[in-house]
Structure 1
């Protein structure tokens, strides 16, 4: 018996404490813990559900717990109560008595008798007395914040930018689990073949109505299939897949992907080049460049050159006007991917958005001179923030008179989200269940 073996709920508590203490990314930590404690089968799904659900609804859970907590608790005790309450409210298949029993057992292992009594008492009181109503919150903005567990500053910002209804729809969508989607590597296979092979493996799939080389995975984890290892597809969100289309790739082009990790868009561009041309992919971090290279090798793509480089200084390493196309998928607040990384919403601030805008503009500035005349520069982000998106795009045009707006070329299914002839699109999570994403296109005169 492995000494490190832990129950699903003990493992969930470990992950949630680490996220709280170190602002670690939930997705990375979860994978580490699954390996470390050898969690397998349905338990993996339960662990993921408890961790993501507890983070996703943290503010709502704290609102419900507040009347039952009479004194300041140790951090781990508060998190234990939170994850237990999450299960009591949102998981139908687990009876309350089992949840409370497990919470008490964890409290016995981690704390003294007083804490055991406290945990037992609070959870039994919740079970007996029920939860206070969210209708007690009279301010509609504050209510939306607590109800959907998005910080008040963020809800206010979205309402200012897009109006109450759009902000509400976005907050509600962010509580839903995203559907996993894959992009077929058409240099090796086609969508019909992959659908058939995945179904034989026991997956439940459907073709994407948005992207012609994409499949939605309704049951199963695409990373666990042999087809993934063979490089038949990449795991990528549909919104993110749209970016490569905007570049209007043609054979033999030289393309710069200035902020490339983890390499999804690099791979897509290389596939669209069909073995011709070259994609030069840059990232600051050696371990991320290693990922891009491993990915290229898995996909069987030989037209990718991945380099460790700060793209803000890329002008020092490449000759001016040496690329036909440039993609700046810039560092951003990530507010479009809150379903996948729910921890982001509690750690970001107004100030972060301001400093990110400066980084975005510096990268655009540095790469602009590397584009050939007549070439296209695509600026994209996985955020829904007006300032980071339209604000940065407008500021770039103002600073660069040698660039002009260029109408977006995107898959037909996305065309009704673009204003006619526009060079920008803002995709919201509620539009078709993809990530929130911004894409804009500029042409060098």
Structure 2
């Protein structure tokens, strides 16, 4: 596949994301298979797609002065200019002559000579005149939003919650690519043996820096490893690995994972149980239950039971006091995983937080009666928003006096995160350890 085609595929992916709100990660994988993209071209395609999404608002700011005389642009032309400018500004190894040539060729093929002339003219003008300065933005929040390509409402919200400097650090790290980490399946192998196996396969790996169960890819793709197919590990972010650990899983425990797809935490719990006890894993959608079952089978786990069920109706199917421990890894805004899913930044609105907080509280309230006396409930999200995290727990505790925050959470988590634990709750921001942003609260049922 020529590099011209790679950019054409990138344009098609970006166009579908904007038109149909398609998920970037899923669509990228589909298009790689469809167009048989191989080798280094996969890396280039991935870089252009994610980079252009990640820097969208910054790119539009840079393009704006050069598009003043243009009539309303077709959507694909704007996206072509974005992805071309992304390469010019952020990819040092790509020659500008190649960027210009291929952008003009795509414009000719998709449009006409006039479109090709416009694209060439805009890119040449930027090369000649340079980029507009962000210094013209005098409002510090607006400048940070444009500089790091986050919606202004979101930067304002975070600034109110955690202050400008913490918000700046978080926004900046959100523009960097995430590390690929994995969780060792301790039923199948040891961390040392897994590291050895992967190195034999030519994948450069090392121990994780946060979670005890983690390894980290330094070079190569873990998904393509034979050891993955054989069930020796699960792709998972290190912060996400802390959730099952926070439960304090004990032998023969009966555990409910109430929002389980795609199954990363369910399988971690099952591994920690060492194939004793049982994990009842429920999720709203049948196709997502299929994903969990596939993961369970690949990892060789024998103690997982799955069911397609709305967790807000779980009392209709389970008796009160059925479980020793319950995990509510709640559906959330996902603002802790912006580096992995950059389109999240643009697809959410401020009102979504309020709607999600209600759903999260409803789930907690519904499953809380299913826990035994002195049982443990862990609530987690992959977001960093107060309303969905501490706000939900505060509301739940006000309505459920038989529950309390459990400060023993620190006994189950690594030493390195303890400074970030307060009153039985851990909030990790992406810039702390280069992981996903995550919130974990451990609650104990008193009666």
Shared fold (TM-score, shorter chain, > 0.5): yes
Unaligned runs of 5+ in 1: none
1:439 aligns with 2:440: yes
Asked whether the 8 Å contact 2:326–2:378 carries over to 1, the reply is yes
CA distance in 1, matches of 2:194, 2:252: 28
Residue 198 of structure 1: CA displacement? 1.1
Query: Among 36, 46, 49, which residue is 1:48 paired with?
Result: 46
2:7 to 6, 9, 15: 9
Cα drift, residue 413 of structure 1: 2.3
In structure 2, what is the Cα distance between the partners aligned to 1:141 and 1:8?
A: 36
User: Residue 194 of structure 2 corresponds to which residue in structure 1?
Assistant: 194
Deviation at 1:209, TM superposition (A): 2.4
- Aligned partners of 1:226, 1:250: CA distance in 2, in Å? 31
Equivalent residue, structure 2, for 1:417: 420
Deviation at 1:5, TM superposition (A): 11
Contact in 2 for aligned 1:6/1:37 (Cα 8 Å): no
The one of 50, 63, 66 equivalent to 1:65 is 63
Contact residue 425 and residue 440 of structure 1 kept, 8 A:
yes
Correspondence 1:384-423 to 2 at 5 A: 384-407=384-407, 408=409, 409-419=412-422, 422-423=423-424
Aligned to 1:287: 287
Q: Paired residue for 2:183? A: 183
CA distance in 2, matches of 1:133, 1:262: 43
Query: What residue number does 1:92 align with?
Result: 92
Partner residue in 1 for 2:358: 358
How many residues are aligned here? 441
Q: Is the 8 A contact 2:182 2:216 kept in 1?
A: yes
Q: Does the 8 Å contact 2:3/2:41 carry over to 1?
A: no
TM-score between the two structures when normalised by the length of structure 1: 0.98
How far apart are 1:411 and its partner, in Å?
A: 2.1
Report deviation, 1:6.
7.4
Q: CA deviation at 1:218?
A: 1.1
The one of 15, 19, 22 equivalent to 2:20 is 22
Match of 1:381 in 2: 381
2:16 counterpart SS class: helix
Q: Contact between 2:330 and 2:360, CA under 8 Å: does it hold in 1?
A: yes
Per-residue deviation at 1:416? 2.1
In structure 1, the residue corresponding to 2:388 is in which secondary structure?
Answer: helix
Compute the displacement of 1:204 (Å): 1.5
Residue of structure 2 equivalent to 1:225: 225
Please show how residues 92-131 of structure 1 align to structure 2 within 5 Å. 92-131=92-131
Instruction: Tell me if structure 2 keeps the 8 A contact 1:245–1:411.
Output: no
SS at match of 1:342: coil
Q: Is the 1:210–1:411 contact (alpha carbons within 8 Å) kept by the matching residues of 2?
A: yes
What is the CA–CA distance in structure 2 between the aligned matches of 1:101 and 1:113, rounded to whole Å?
14
What is the CA–CA distance in structure 2 between the aligned matches of 1:5 and 1:47, rounded to whole Å?
9
Whether the 8 Å contact between 1:232 and 1:299 is mirrored in structure 2 is yes
How big is the shift at 1:154?
0.2
Match of 1:430? 431
Q: Please give the alpha-carbon distance, in whole angstroms, between the structure 1 residues aligned to 2:100 and 2:387.
A: 45
Distance 1:416 1:185 in 2: 28
Residue 261 of structure 2 is aligned to residue 261 of structure 1: yes
1:405 deviation in Å? Answer: 1.0
CA root-mean-square deviation: 1.2
Q: Distance in 1 between matches of 2:374 and 2:149?
A: 46
Instruction: In structure 2, list runs of 5 or more residues that go unmatched.
Output: none
Q: Secondary structure at the match of 1:206?
A: strand
Instruction: For residue 244 of structure 1, report the CA deviation from its aligned partner.
Output: 0.6
Change (3 A) 1:88 1:5: closer
Q: Residue deviations 1:4-23, cap 9 Å, x none?
A: 99711011001000000111
Structure 2 contact 144–168 (Cα < 8 Å) conserved = yes
Query: Is the CA contact (8 Å cut-off) linking 1:5 and 1:37 kept in structure 2?
Result: no
Contact 2:4/2:102 (8 A) holds in 1: no
Q: Secondary structure at the match of 1:387?
A: coil
Given candidates 29, 32, 40, the residue that maps to 2:30 is 32
DSSP 3-state at the match of 2:181 = strand
C-alpha contact (below 8 Å) 2:223/2:235 kept by paired residues: yes
Q: Contact 1:289/1:306 (CA < 8 Å) preserved in 2?
A: yes
The answer as to whether partners of 2:213 and 2:241 remain within 8 angstroms in 1 is: no
